[in-house]
Structure 1
Amino acid sequence: MTHRTEPGETPQEPAAAAALRRARFGTLPERIRPEDTVETNPATVPDPARDTYNPDEWLIRYCG
């Protein structure tokens, strides 16, 4: 098995290459919770006079 090198990089012995790899990729980044990745903002300011809900309105419209 041969060791591949990046352009401009000098070949290193396997133990040194493994140590560099562990130093660079040895730990995962800190976990981010899904709740921290989403931001919610209302599209408009709620208008209580306009947004009132009457659960019996359909009875008046369709059965009356």
Structure 2
Amino acid sequence: MRPAHQSPDPAETARRARFGTLPKRIRAEEMVEERAATVPDPAKNTYNADEWLVRYCL
């Protein structure tokens, strides 16, 4: 440890300027990005069991 009357080292001054404070806190909601894995298919969920019964069973 250096004495208190000695001037700070330029490297130490630069280090304190860069790392002297903690970064801004990031919430968990900001760390996650939600995107659909695939493009929604408009034909999906169009099957109607009642329609099938009417067409083929009556």
Say which one has the larger Rg.
2
Both structures adopt the same fold (TM-score exceeding 0.5): no
TM-score (norm 1): 0.36
TM-score (norm 2): 0.38
Structure number with greater CO (CA < 8 Å, separation at least 6) is: 1
